[in-house]
Amino acid sequence: MADERKSILVIGATGSQGGAVVRHLLARDDEFQVHGLTRDNASERAEKLSERGVVMLEGDLDDPDSLRRVMEGMHGVFCVTNFWQTGYDRQVQQGKNAADVASELGVEHFVFSGVGDHDQSTGIPHFDSCWEIDQHIQQLDLATTVLKPVFFFQNFEGMSDDITDGTLALGLKQGVKLQMIDVDDIGKAATVAFLNPDEFIGTRHNLAGDSKTVEQAAHVFSNVLDIEVEPVHVPMDALREQMGEEFAVMFEWFNEHGYTTDLQECEETFGFEFTNLRDYLHKHGWHVVNTGGQGLRP
């Protein structure tokens, strides 16, 4: 009997966003056969995905011919590109390559994940690169959904030492809120889009699950960790020196403009409750860090 499930190729399957998409697509294995793009099928991450039932296919976003081989026969494609690994020009070209091949082969649903408000002329390189890819996609004959996730809760994992020592330091001005999201919810949203193409093809959505000032976020951390976490507003000059120009420009934009997601509308559109900061911290074990538990990720 022929397999009537829709074949979905996840670009970035071995990364955080793509991995989240894989998890939620696999949970609907009655609907989808999940494929993952990898440059090396022998890599540890690729082998682990294979063990979970993902069909791993070797290909390279820099090589359109390899993309033609792996996209042949795919119903849908989830595409996320990585500015931090490739830089601006190469990221843009990789995104264009994926979209061009998907259009050429008649892929029926292309879900592109960029960055929250990347279409707002932010001047932030890793936002603008996504906007350039997005603009290119709009010129193609390609049924597309564009997801634009905001600041990841997962970014706090890299700040865990300072936070558990009692300091939450961000380059936000007093009273400025930062919208945030759990990467897992991106995977859930992408799966909702693939399940409901009539509703989502031709649409573009900011994705966010919470919005907090530094003070509000520090209060959440204090409650979850059961310690006093002090909010610190990092001056822009210090942030620029510590983190570099890219992050400084991003936080300047956060302070002057910021993400514009309507959180209630986001949940109504996708039909599920997005994770808030408190629930994210509990889910990832922050609440046991001061009680001898092993929940806090390194």
**Which pLDDT score, from 0 to 100, does residue 298 have?**
25
pLDDT digits (tens, 9 = 90+) for 138-167: 999 999 999 999 999 999 999 999 999 999
Report yes or no: 124 and 253 within 8 Å, Cβ to Cβ.
yes
Residue 292 pLDDT greater than 50, yes or no: no
Residue 221 pLDDT greater than 70, yes or no: yes
Q: What percent of the chain has pLDDT over 90?
A: 93
Q: Please report the domains of the chain, with CATH numbers, ordered by start residue.
A: 6-150+183-207 (3.40.50.720)
**Which pLDDT score, from 0 to 100, does residue 2 have?**
64
Q: Is 139 exposed, middle or buried (0-12, 13-18, 19+ CB in 10 A)?
A: exposed
Residue 293 pLDDT greater than 90, yes or no: no
Residue 210 phi, psi dihedral angles, 5° rounding: -160, 165
pLDDT digits (tens, 9 = 90+) for 85-141: 999 999 999 999 999 999 999 999 999 999 999 998 899 999 999 999 999 999 999
pLDDT digits (tens, 9 = 90+) for 223-250: 999 999 999 999 999 999 999 999 999 9
**Which pLDDT score, from 0 to 100, does residue 25 have?**
99
**Which pLDDT score, from 0 to 100, does residue 35 have?**
99
pLDDT digits (tens, 9 = 90+) for 47-80: 999 999 999 999 999 999 999 999 999 999 999 9
What average pLDDT is seen over the chain? Answer: 95
**Which pLDDT score, from 0 to 100, does residue 288 have?**
78
**Sequence-distant contacts of 26-29: CB under 8 A, at least 24 apart:** 26/52, 26/53, 26/54, 27/191, 28/191, 28/195, 29/5, 29/53
Residue 294 pLDDT greater than 70, yes or no: no
**Which pLDDT score, from 0 to 100, does residue 289 have?**
64
pLDDT digits (tens, 9 = 90+) for 5-20: 999 999 999 999 999 9
Q: What average pLDDT does range 174-184 have in this prediction?
A: 99
**Which pLDDT score, from 0 to 100, does residue 147 have?**
99
Confidence at 290, pLDDT banded by 50, 70, 90? low
Contacts of 91 (CB under 8 A, 6+ apart): 81, 82, 83, 126, 129, 133
Q: What average pLDDT does range 189-194 have in this prediction?
A: 99
**Which pLDDT score, from 0 to 100, does residue 192 have?**
99
